[in-house]
Amino acid sequence: MAHSMPERRSHALRLPPELLDHIFSYIPYERASVRIHQKIEPRSFKTQLAFAHVCRAWRSIALASDYWPGLRLPLQDDRRPGKALVHDSGNSLLYVHVDMDQFQSPRHTVNEKMKDITLRALNQLPRIRTLFLRLDPDDDYMTFWEKYDDESDAWEFAHALGEQDAPELQDLTLGWMSKEHLRLDFIEHPFPRLRYLSLMRCTWETRSRTLFQTDNLVHANFWDVRLCLSVDELVDTFLQWKRLQYLNIMGCNLMSGTLGPTTYNRRAAYLPELKEIEFSGEAKDIGTFMTYVAFPPSTSTRLSLRSMYDARDTSSALKDAIHDHFDIPQGRSLIKDSHSFVIAYPTGFEIQSYAPENSPPFFWRHMDNRPESQFILRGFGSQAGFLSDVLSHVPALEHVSRLDLGQSAAPRVRPPPIQLLRRFVAVTELIINTDWRHVLDAMLLDSALFPELECVQLFDFDLRDQSTTTPLRNVLDKVRKGRANLVRLTLRECYMGDEAFKSVFGDDNVLIKSSDEESEDDHYY
């Protein structure tokens, strides 16, 4: 930030021009690849070419280049490391890759020459910009009660992170493949320039989280990591990460200790730059996180509750946290202006911000041809009533204009309570599938249910048999007569054999859509 634009440009030009040409020639392919796999690799595709860093999207290409100023160590051969170690590009190693997960035999051990080369590379920590470590101290012959050896090669490689300062390190991936968690208390020096951090199966025994002491972090991935000991420590950590844009927490133990008292109020830490968060964990952890760590409602949010055994005890914290998330003008506007509100009772709900403009090409078409989801809450094995309890505290449901009850075909999906559906008083378009056929019957008995309805969309109905079509047509006729604004019917991905609904809605008000059709392919019958 202190550098001027000419200085930054001169740094970028210090990369070998051949490498730049090679990378730029692959940009269109990498853009498509990142777009397709964005759910797996949430880091955005941006031009991050600079002397300090080359983004991961181009790394696999650059590794094959003879001009790459870095080092790859699969620990199986020693053909290239020697040249890479002596390579000096502005006194910097842009990339060091150490992978112990490529052994062909469980009895394979690191030979002394490769171990020496690896340690020599890790001893260059002060000049490394990107470091990838995948370390596995176990083999197939270890029993489940054995712990990893503190003198193992993997342990020695990991501890190289704590032996020196790393003033240049911007991107760190540390994957610990053992059954036992790796204790990171040995890292005593902070990495002040760290921007990308990925940890797998790591923990701490003390309150010292030196690795988290950076205010430059923009991307964080945690898998099976014991992150914090208390709420205060959780808030203190995220208060530093004001620049964080992407956060992925999967199967982690958010709080190693008990919650206990805290000096912080709700929403004490705010992440103004956060664009995407994915959190898969226990309900109590997600509830605690959202209670004390806030982010904009526009953030793409995916919350997956791994188990619901504690839902009764934690639903209050989670529902209050979700209420706080949306109970601001931006949050209410997100719900009010959303493309669709989707409910799969009792497993979850999502808020879709807009429909896709263009369908993805090739075989990703059907998988990705869905509206963009801005907020998703899923609870695997959710208890009855949990979702109703959460939705009862979501503000602005009264302003939703499009309610989708037809996207989920999960076996556990059941009809929601009618009192929940009564909140959607502004709905003008309702989507249902065969599992939600009862909603039409409920509308016959309750004229206050969806009073502003203008269009009903039937999704994946089999309408070839008159024994099914005739009762459905009669119900729709009665529902339409009780709602003055209901004038249209859409049949999407339905099996049809006749024109049974023309008599109810008129010749020009029955719309047929196939699975991959958008507005340009819509047709009437």
* Distance of alpha carbon 298 from alpha carbon 332, whole angstroms: 11
How many CB atoms neighbour CB 313 within 10 A? 11
pLDDT value at residue 493: 84
pLDDT category at 241 given cuts 50, 70, 90 is: very high
Q: Which residue has the higher pLDDT, 226 or 316?
A: 226
Look up residue 2 and give its two tokens. 């202190």
pLDDT category at 10 given cuts 50, 70, 90 is: very low
* Distance of alpha carbon 456 from alpha carbon 430, whole angstroms: 5
How many CB atoms neighbour CB 341 within 10 A? 24
Q: Is residue 279 scored above 70 in pLDDT?
A: yes
Look up residue 183 and give its two tokens. 């204790």
pLDDT value at residue 230: 86
* Distance of alpha carbon 46 from alpha carbon 123, whole angstroms: 30
Place of tokens 């952890």: 285
pLDDT category at 143 given cuts 50, 70, 90 is: very low
Q: Is residue 48 scored above 70 in pLDDT?
A: no
pLDDT value at residue 495: 82
* H or E element in which residue 325 lies: helix 311-326
pLDDT value at residue 60: 59
pLDDT value at residue 62: 60
Q: Which residue has the higher pLDDT, 449 or 32?
A: 449
pLDDT value at residue 323: 93
Alpha carbon 87 to its chain's center: 38
**Helical ranges in 339-497 per DSSP H:** 365-368, 386-391, 418-421, 438-445, 466-481
Q: Is residue 51 scored above 60 in pLDDT?
A: no
**CA angle centred on 207, ends 204 and 212, rounded to 5°:** 75
Cis peptide bond prior to 346, omega within 30° of 0: yes
pLDDT category at 82 given cuts 50, 70, 90 is: low
* Distance of alpha carbon 77 from alpha carbon 74, whole angstroms: 7
The predicted-structure confidence for 395-413, as pLDDT tens digits, reads as follows 999 999 999 987 655 556 6
The predicted-structure confidence for 202-212, as pLDDT tens digits, reads as follows 998 777 788 89
Q: What is the DSSP letter of 266?
A: T
Closest CA to 456 of 415, 391, 473: 473
pLDDT value at residue 300: 93
Cis peptide bond prior to 371, omega within 30° of 0: no
Place of tokens 């949010």: 301
Q: Which residue has the higher pLDDT, 232 or 44?
A: 232
129-137 average pLDDT score:
86
Place of tokens 């203008």: 454
Count CA atoms within 13 Å of residue 71 on its CB side. Answer: 32
Flag the least confident range among 130-134, 173-177, 308-312, 481-485: 308-312
pLDDT value at residue 75: 62
Q: Given CA atoms 199, 253, 380, 349 in this order, what sign does their dihedral have?
A: negative
Alpha carbon distances (Å) from 220 to 41, 171, 254, 474: 11, 10, 14, 55
Alpha carbon distances (Å) from 84 to 63, 101, 125, 157: 11, 21, 14, 18
Flag the least confident range among 174-183, 330-339, 380-389, 454-463: 380-389
Q: Which residue has the higher pLDDT, 521 or 511?
A: 511
Q: Is residue 139 scored above 90 in pLDDT?
A: no
* Distance of alpha carbon 385 from alpha carbon 373, whole angstroms: 24
pLDDT category at 77 given cuts 50, 70, 90 is: low
